[in-house]
Amino acid sequence: MAGSRLTRQDRRRIAAGLVEGLSYSEIAKRLERVTSTVTREVMRNGGPREYRADRAHHAAGQRARRSTPARPKRARTAAVADHGYGRDEAAVRACEQRLVELFAAIGLQQMTSRVLAFMCVTDSGSVTAAELAQHLAVSPASISKAVGLLEQQEMIRRERAAGQRNDRYIVGEDVLYQAVVGNFRHNTALAKTAYDCVSVLGPDTPAGARLEGLGQLLDHLSHYLLQWMELWPQVRSTREVVQPAVDS
């Protein structure tokens, strides 16, 4: 079966596996295919959330019937070249999409998540606004807004080499650390809002008591998690477990 074209039934089994929450490798094992075949099939047909078996099969049939030669593949920019690592491009795109979902889940906007995810999967960690716009197929204005937000949160920085006209945006090695800490600080802001509402509603009212409990929970979690996260650079550099100070 390996090497032959996917059948309609194969595609329906892929769709069923996605609904079950199976990984690409698990689905491939069911079909007795290599993982890259399943990854490429899903990503070229809308990704795991939008994949539809019959629609994908129809699209495959249309591609097979085309008599005109395919347009030359757009050359990748230096930012996304694999530098001889021999990576599966479809698998890299799938990894990029998973990072987008991760960043969105911790509170980043969709376009900001897409920009950050792309930067994370580039070996240089450095891209121009034009490279971002080309890869994500969006307007320069969308890129400008997204990188501005990431700069504000200190998740990327902007540099311009001597003699160069274009800025380059650089993602640091501690990007996930900054993202997680930013999420904890967001929880702290939510806790403050909850306390402010308690003073308006009254602490002895059912609504006030409910919000006070929410504020205490968020405040407690954020306080101790931030202590742990602020020790992370030291842990990473020394490879030693460092205990945060515990309030008396």
Residues 63-83 have pLDDT tens digits of 777 644 545 444 444 445 445
What predicted TM-score, i.e. pTM, was given to this entire model?
A: 0.51
Burial state string for 75-109 with b = 16 or more CB within 10 A and e = fewer than 16: eeeebbeeeeeeeeebebbbbbbebbebbeeeebe
Ranking 13-22, 35-44, 128-137, 157-166 by mean pLDDT, the lowest is: 157-166
Ranking 54-68, 151-165, 169-183 by mean pLDDT, the lowest is: 169-183
Choice between 3 and 192, residue whose per-residue pLDDT is larger: 192
DSSP E strands: which ranges in 60-212? 126-127, 156-159, 168-171
Q: Which of 52-66, 78-92, 123-137 has the highest mean pLDDT?
A: 123-137
In this predicted model, what pLDDT tens digit does every residue of 19-35 receive, in sequence order?
Answer: 988 888 889 899 988 88
Helix (H) / strand (E) element for 219: namely helix 206-230
Encoded amino acid at 216, one letter: Q
Nearest Cα residue to 223 out of 192, 197, 198: 192
Q: Is the sign of the CA dihedral 173, 177, 180, 184 positive or negative?
A: negative
Q: Let me know if domain 97-172 sits in CATH 3.50.50.100.
A: no
The residue ranges of every structural domain in the chain are 8-65, 97-172, 176-238
Residue 44: which pLDDT band, with cuts at 50, 70 and 90? Answer: confident
In this predicted model, what pLDDT tens digit does every residue of 138-168 receive, in sequence order?
Answer: 999 999 999 999 988 778 888 887 777 888 9
User: How large is the C-alpha radius of gyration of the chain?
Assistant: 23
